[in-house]
Structure 1
Amino acid sequence: MLAIFVGLALCLAGSVYTEEGVNWVLLVAGSNEYYNYRHQADICHAYQIVHKYGIPDERIIVMMYDDIANNSQNTMKGKIINQPGGPDVYEGVLKDYTKKLVTPDNFLKVLQGKEMAVGSKKTIQSGPNDNIFVYFSDHGAPGIVAFPDGSALHASDLNKAILSMHANKQYKNMVFYIEACESGSMFEDLLPVNINVYATTAANSEESSYACYYDSKLKTYLGDLYSVNWLEDSDKEDIYTETLDEQFRLVKKLTNLSHAMEYGDLSMSSVFKVSDFQAERGQVYTPSLSMTRLQPRSDLVKSEDVRLEILHRRLAEENDQIVRQSLLQEIQDVQRMKNLAINVIKGIARSLVKSQNLDLNSLLNTRKKLTNHECYKPVVDHLINKCFSLKNDHVLRNLYILVNLCESGVLAENINYTIDKLCPSKFFE
């Protein structure tokens, strides 16, 4: 009888734990190369926060290229900081999926808990009573966010995965924070309001997000405006009393050059505390990594202009003529790729105007809302395969033209035929 009683007690204890649920975290930096330092810095900082608040490493998954801390250009070897004079946020960071493993396909598999045969093999093994927090920092464009290999995660694929997870009861509540240009387009008119998912983004569906904290010693931007605002808030505030709504309102106010947005089930933001997603249950408020909020200054720059801005700053500070000549050449190369991206994408529109009876001025100077994902997705993928990597920020900034073509009724096959003609071979940076 005693054995039966003990067994029953253990069973009941297990069921109580399951009913309470646990928290899972997925952190993703979708870029590489030193000039994109800030994205991995954001992700490393986020890891330090959720780790500090007790979420165990087995329920935190980090995807980042991992080419910044030990980069030859990094004067703080083996370290990454996310604010001027701030603490090292790289120490102890998980490296579940790095280098070529940071892809849209692997991200979706990890999020949905599908079996992985690479990296740490960790995935979100959540159940119907668990909460999930997903934070993504990178470049974006209408309906996509970019990954280090220059490929795209499409909004339609992300939302399809979310709906599948809801249908399969893989979570109780889920929160997304997305740092990227035009990041609102990842959820706008796509994310349902009744599946217990709440999302905030750095920008609406039409505008750039902004980098901040230029460091003259490291010669790069340390963070992104929206991201450092929520990260520093989670450092400083008692997240066990602060609601998601309170954090969003503060971030929205401080992110003053783009419009931070929220989507999905907005009622969640006033019900749940930040700790319901960024902390382990049973933890208490602890001192922060940095108790001083460093307000982003006048060094804010649009994400697509970061690379050129860094090069111009380095040039202004450089006296060595050989180095200056090298910087001038790099500036010319970046400007050439910028112009090439603009000319090719605008050329696609110009080539189709007559045969499709379209207005060129409207195609180039207005922005239609993306709804025709069935056209847009294959067109963007074909452009990536035939013409450009999405590492060229100015490809991203001009994809609205492809949106306009799809929304004007042009068939994907006609757009792709034109791409083939304009890109006989792929252009490289």
Structure 2
Amino acid sequence: MLPKGLLLLLIIIYSCAAEHETSMLPEAYVDAAQRSTHTNNWAVLVDASRFWFNYRHVANVLSIYRSVKRLGIPDSQIILMIADDMACNARNPRPGQVYNNANQHINVYGDDVEVDYRGYEVTVENFVRLLTGRTQNGTARSKKLLSDAGSNVLIYLTGHGGDGFLKFQDSEEITSQELADGIQQMWEKKRYNELFFMVDTCQAASLYEKFTSPNVLAVASSLVGEDSLSHHVDPSIGVYMIDRYTYYALEFLEKVQPFSKRTIGEFLQVCPKRVCISTVGVRKDLYRRDPHKVPITDFFGAIRPTRVSTDRINVTLANEEDFVNEVVQSEPRKQFKIILEPQFTAELIK
């Protein structure tokens, strides 16, 4: 039997060798191991403002909703909160319709929008309960954020804000500290793998200043002391249609396909000051990966390994091997093309 001192020395040497071996793993292997924890995507999209003159905020959130849904995130994994339903507003000359541009090219309200929290349900309490998983008894499953340790979560906020707060319903506020506490609870309860925080409001960068939780990447439409501005007005209804930052973010997202190689790093640069007028703020010190190596679909798309085939397949075959042989022996595939309707016209505003 080995003396205790020698045994301890051998354990230390073995541990150091194992640590050295791990540190020498190929970078691609380590990166793949990190990505393997990501298994699903969720989106929480919130318009916190009310009243007809805030039409653009509803258009903002519905446009992001349309983009993430187009890229594959299902409604079952999207929580949509709209404080004032402009589609049903008495001042809307086009009932049941909401547009994000003056040319009225795309009705972003559409036929299949699933609003989870509407009107006076959009409160600070309900939002914090949603993030932390503390929803009240009787809350429908569709109104819960059922994310886990493998979830990448996109949080998008729009409305009216100031230094360190975002207004809800023009009657209450959520502070930057409350947001930070909510996200910290999410991390401690293993409710996300990585989190992308995106906010379009005045002095938006103040809302992520208190964050301390790991694996959080944040982008804001304006720095502290700056206003976020709207993009253009529709004279026929007398209100602004969309905010500048969200407009240019959507212009980028419309060029993204489900298997695109575009990155989050590119997305963070979509609105330079010459077009946004405000200065876009980015916080990435809490994020472990290089944003320029992170696919945009890690947050705005869905993880869904899919095989598309135009071949005839016998679905009654007994085992997987027969199934593969049947596919291989079938006729060559025909070429096909998926056509997605663009969200913006070629020349939106001249």
User: TM-score interval w.r.t. the shorter chain?
Assistant: 0.7 to 0.9
CA distance in 2, matches of 1:204, 1:241: 29
Q: Which runs of 4+ in 1 moved over 4 A?
A: 117-121, 283-286, 293-297
Partner of 1:177: 198
Partner of 1:74: 92
Q: Are 1:208 and 2:227 an aligned pair?
A: yes
Shift of 1:252: 3.1
Partner of 2:69: 51
Partner of 2:342: 289
AA at the equivalent of 1:96? D
Aligned counterpart in structure 2 of residue 163 of structure 1, from 184, 207, 212: 184
Aligned counterpart in structure 2 of residue 272 of structure 1, from 270, 273, 294: 294
Contact 2:55/2:240 (<8 A) preserved: yes
Shift of 1:70: 1.9
Partner of 1:312: none
Q: Tell me, what secondary structure is at the counterpart of 1:77?
A: coil
Change (3 A) 1:180 1:296: farther
CA distance in 1, matches of 2:184, 2:272: 27
CA distance in 2, matches of 1:185, 1:24: 24
Q: Tell me, what secondary structure is at the counterpart of 2:179?
A: helix
Shift of 1:22: 0.5
Identity fraction in percent: 27
Partner of 1:93: 113
AA at the equivalent of 1:104? V
Using the size of structure 2 for normalisation, the TM-score is: 0.74
Aligned counterpart in structure 2 of residue 102 of structure 1, from 122, 128, 143: 122
Aligned counterpart in structure 1 of residue 155 of structure 2, from 110, 134, 137: 134
Contact 2:126/2:135 (<8 A) preserved: no
Change (3 A) 1:124 1:287: same
AA at the equivalent of 1:123? K
Partner of 2:245: 226
Contact 2:245/2:276 (<8 A) preserved: no
Partner of 1:37: 55
Gapped regions of structure 2 (runs ≥ 5): 1-35, 307-337
Q: Are 1:243 and 2:263 an aligned pair?
A: yes
Partner of 1:327: none
Considering only aligned residues, what root-mean-square deviation do their CA atoms show, in Å? 2.3
Q: Tell me, what secondary structure is at the counterpart of 1:107?
A: helix
CA distance in 2, matches of 1:268, 1:93: 34
Using the size of structure 1 for normalisation, the TM-score is: 0.61
Aligned counterpart in structure 1 of residue 171 of structure 2, from 145, 150, 156: 150
Partner of 2:309: none
Shift of 1:286: 6.2
Contact 1:97/1:119 (<8 A) preserved: no
- Per-residue CA deviation, residues 249-294 of structure 1 (Å, 9 max, x unaligned), is 1223564310011114354422311111111123798635325465
Aligned counterpart in structure 2 of residue 111 of structure 1, from 123, 131, 156: 131
Partner of 2:28: none
Change (3 A) 1:104 1:33: same
Contact 1:201/1:261 (<8 A) preserved: yes
CA distance in 2, matches of 1:290, 1:166: 35
CA distance in 2, matches of 1:30, 1:245: 27
Partner of 1:199: 218
CA distance in 1, matches of 2:347, 2:278: 19
AA at the equivalent of 1:260? V
Q: Tell me, what secondary structure is at the counterpart of 2:117?
A: coil
Shift of 1:47: 1.1
Q: Higher relative contact order by CA 8 Å / sep ≥ 6: 1 or 2? A: 2
- Per-residue CA deviation, residues 281-320 of structure 1 (Å, 9 max, x unaligned), is 23798635325465777xxxxxxxxxxxxxxxxxxxxxxx
Change (3 A) 1:274 1:294: farther
AA at the equivalent of 1:263? R
Question: How many residue pairs were aligned?
Answer: 278
Q: Are 1:23 and 2:47 an aligned pair?
A: no
Partner of 2:316: none
Change (3 A) 1:55 1:206: same
CA distance in 1, matches of 2:301, 2:165: 29
Counterparts of residues 397-412 of structure 1 (less than 5 Å): none
AA at the equivalent of 1:216? P
- Per-residue CA deviation, residues 86-120 of structure 1 (Å, 9 max, x unaligned), is 30001222211111110111111112222234774
Change (3 A) 1:196 1:64: same
Gapped regions of structure 1 (runs ≥ 5): 1-17, 298-429
CA distance in 1, matches of 2:140, 2:244: 31
Shift of 1:72: 2.0
CA distance in 2, matches of 1:157, 1:234: 30
**Structure with a larger share of its residues in helix:** 1
